[in-house]
Amino acid sequence: MSKGLPKRSEDYSLWYNELVKRADLAENSAVRGCMVIKPYGYAIWEKMQATLDEMFKDTGHSNAYFPLFIPKSYLSKEADHVEGFAKECAVVTHYRLKNDENGNGVVVDPDAKLEEELIVRPTSETVIWNSYKNWIQSYRDLPLLINQWANVVRWEMRTRLFLRTAEFLWQEGHTAHATRQEAIDETVQMMNVYATFAEEYLALPVLKGVKTESERFAGAEDTYCIEALMQDGKALQAGTSHFLGQNFAKAFDVKFANKEGGAMEYVWGTSWGVSTRLMGALIMAHSDDNGLVLPPKLAPFQVVIVPIFRSEEQLAEISEVANKIKADLKKFGISVKYDDRDTHKPGWKFAEYELKGTPVRIAIGPKDLENGTVEVARRDLLEKNVMPMDDDFAQNISVLLDNIQDTIYQKALKYREEHSFKADSYDEFKKIISSEAGGFVYAHWDGTAETEEKIKNETKATIRCIPIDQVEEEGKCVYSGAPSKGRVVFAKAY
RNA sequence: CGGGAUGUGGCGCAGUCCGGUAGCGCACCUGGUUUGGGACCAGGGGGUCCCAGGUUCGAAUCCUGGUAUCCCGACCA
């Protein structure tokens, strides 16, 4: 039992905030809205990065890096884009400080005012398309498939660790294509990459869909997304992939000579991203009142070995066994931490690794040495078993880790299924949305922004997406009664 | 940016109404006993009580003005 971790059922937000801090993932920084990602939290992010990066490379993308600062004028080149981001941009106006004449430390030097102010990127479409203008001349230069790992800044009014911070880490893919269809295919492909990553690594089932006009990325023609359900019944947008049409090509005059006689055409663009928000998704989807529950594929270490000993001699004997186990597991690609510190007691360590979500804990004590066994505990189900230390041991642990990964996923899937509902009247709709349990509500919608807006104002629920696998079905909008050809997904969202 | 709350050793808090030598728990350090689910005993170190003014013989406490953080709304990945 972790000492005083708040209960999810009592205060979900408090539980989340405390868990992030106590599990040593991140903490608030001196700067409002920003966070310090601590080594344990960053290790998880690094695993996400490594996996995603490989998936991007496998689909033909290359990494590059574009600058943090964007000339203010760039942002205004695409009308919707500036509209969407203007209100949350940090702006650099000066480039020098000087000593205050009254001895109050340093002050901004008014003589060092920038000719053109720079904004700290909230996203990089504009700088990148400004470069693409020079990189693309002919159909031979296409497709251009670039990704960058970067930080961005959005001056948010209200922030929460990982879920919404003023500065966050992410990757942003930016591609350019010769045809509309190719760009759409790319957009869909990357949504699918995200969905695969979420399901296979985060152990998090997601809905794939398209955003409505009002939820769409500023400057996109279509925004595809993956939406996940958290344990408090609220939806979390876990990744987005945008079909940009020719909007940025036109704004930055990016044209190519086509294959058919060299006529100049505007290129078609996409952009797509996932951020450190995925950390929030990971935490909120699986963890319990005892602490973090990490899927083995993303845990900084998958197995921890805790020795139980009284004397130095005993520790030496146990260490011999522990190190052999560690080596054996390593051969199966399993990452292991052997915690032989004598500064903390076993019970303390058990609680600690439970809080930090280590998938498997192996305890070895004197009794085990006698019996040729070890105690194996799995974090997800909080079950303990005594296992024989035989030739199959490493193999068995490997199977166990796979089983944990799958069990966590199935549990999340079951939760989502139990919290997915159909509503055919507005009363029914409101009842589900306002319930404690929350969840996804599939309902007919007349397709208008007005209705969407009214539902949002009245219930706080928004359309998370129009599912990609939406079934055709005649129906009536739950709000207006106007005809509809399929259900969309509503939920309260982060 | 509106409404509310809170700033006191590293962390969590009491003390503030009613001004009078700054306290508790955790963590930390030392010694000893302990070690199969967050050990115990003894001793010890650590604070410009958010900042700046003011009232007072005397301010963590009262007054004025800042500022920061958190929660609730509007906005957002």
Model confidence pLDDT, tens digit, residues A296-339:
999 999 999 999 999 999 999 999 999 999 999 999 999 999 99
Which domain covers residue A142, as residue numbers? 12-69+134-286
DSSP letters along A413-462, please?
Answer: HHHHHHTEEEE-SHHHHHHHHHSTT--EEEEE--S-HHHHHHHHHHHS-E
Say what the pLDDT of residue A104 is.
65
Residue A156: which residues within 8 A CB-CB, separation 6 or more? A33, A88, A164, A165, A166
Nucleotide nearest to A309 (CA to C1'): B35
Q: Based on the domain organization, do A278 and A141 belong to the same domain?
A: yes
Distance separating alpha carbons of residues A156 and A1, to the nearest angstrom: 35
Nearest to A37 by CA among A46, A26, A48: A26
* Domain-embedded: residue A40: yes
Domain count of the fold of chain A = 3
* Domain-embedded: residue A442: yes
Distance separating alpha carbons of residues A269 and A176, to the nearest angstrom: 5
**Backbone torsions φ then ψ of A146, nearest 5 degrees:** -120, 145
pLDDT of A365 higher than 50: yes
Say what the pLDDT of residue A102 is.
67
Distance separating alpha carbons of residues A97 and A303, to the nearest angstrom: 50
- The reply to whether A377 Cβ lies less than 7 angstroms from strand B is yes
Distance separating alpha carbons of residues A26 and A130, to the nearest angstrom: 35
* Domain-embedded: residue A165: yes
* Domain-embedded: residue A27: yes
Say what the pLDDT of residue A12 is.
85
Query: Which element (helix H / strand E) includes A410?
Result: helix A393-418
- Among residues A254, A286, A318, the one where a domain terminates is A286
Report residues 80-119 of A contacting strand B, contact meaning Cβ closer than 7 Å: 84, 87-88
Q: What is the per-residue pLDDT across A61-74, written as a single tens digit (0 to 9) for each?
A: 999 999 999 999 99
- Whether A77 and A252 have beta carbons less than 8 Å apart is answered as yes
Nucleotide nearest to A350 (CA to C1'): B37
Length of chain A: 494
Report residues 30-69 of A contacting strand B, contact meaning Cβ closer than 7 Å: 31-33
Q: Based on the domain organization, do A395 and A430 belong to the same domain?
A: no
Global pTM value:
0.96
Distance A306 CA to B25 C1' (A): 29
- The reply to whether A281 Cβ lies less than 7 angstroms from strand B is no
- Whether A209 and A224 have beta carbons less than 8 Å apart is answered as yes
Query: Which element (helix H / strand E) includes A238?
Result: strand A235-245
Nucleotides of B under 7 A from a protein CB: 1, 34-39, 68-77
Query: Lowest-pLDDT range, A37-46, A104-113, A347-356?
Result: A104-113
